[in-house]
Amino acid sequence: MHINERSSALINDFSDKVFHILGCGAIGSSAATQLCRMGGETFVLYDLDSVEIQNVGVSHYTLNDIGKRKVDALDNHLVSINPDVNIYAEFGRFSAFLKKLGTEDIVILGFDSMDSRLEAAVAALKNGNKPLAIIDGRMGAEEYQQYTIKNPTLGKYKTTWYSDAQAEDEPCNAKATSYCSNMSGAFIANAIKKLVNEENVAEEIVFSFPGLVLGSK
């Protein structure tokens, strides 16, 4: 019996997909954890930071991870779920590693900085790269936005982007809650389930906990 035995009837096999997790904080660690439990087998992790105590409250890390590089701590966490998972941990500028993406690659953006998100999108889409999708999750304390771009181009991505200055009142800042970060992983995992099942995927999702309001288009 495989770890995803109870969900495999609902989700087409996606063991051939490569998940590039750009930013291994609240959004990235939650998405990677859920995808690993669902049967994801190959992950490329990108982050420049190490785990600090404030990360434990909103990300999939423990006190034992404090001081470790996030990519290494998340690597260990995913292997504890599925020892057979393939993980490539990149502790450096992502632009040096996003050189060649295939049509089965999915890029998940979870950086705090909007400028870093745009830089990552540029790096992911240059040199003729054609990933299957870019999923950009943007989280505040109790609000979450998600953009899913199938067959992405830089032009398509830029229509969803706004600057860090414009993001001050948007759900993408330093505040976070554990329930919102876990919800972000759930929305990303569900979008990928729909992608691999060739179902309709909402291009934009906005969710607010205070009013329990979900909007999509």
Residue 105 lies in a domain: yes
3-state secondary structure of 97: coil
What does the mean pLDDT of the chain come to?
89
Residue 212 lies in a domain: yes
Residue 172: the pLDDT is 46
Residue 10 lies in a domain: no
Contact 19, 35 (CB under 8 A): yes
pLDDT confidence bin for 125, thresholds 50/70/90: confident
Residue 61 lies in a domain: yes
Q: What's the CA gap between 194 and 173, in Å, rounded?
A: 28
Question: What DSSP line would sit under 11-47, residue for residue?
Answer: S---TT-EEEEE--SHHHHHHHHHHHHHT--EEEEE-
pLDDT confidence bin for 96, thresholds 50/70/90: low
* CATH at 132: 3.40.50.720
**Res. 171: pLDDT tops 50:** no
Residue 1 lies in a domain: no
Total structural domains in the chain? 1
Using DSSP bridges, classify how beta strands 143-150 and 18-22 pair: parallel, antiparallel or unpaired. Answer: unpaired
- Report phi then psi at 111, rounded to 5: -70, 155
Residue 6 lies in a domain: no
Residue 7 lies in a domain: no
Query: Domain residues for 48?
Result: 18-216
Summarize the confidence of residues 7-26 as an average pLDDT. 91
Q: What's the CA gap between 213 and 83, in Å, rounded?
A: 38
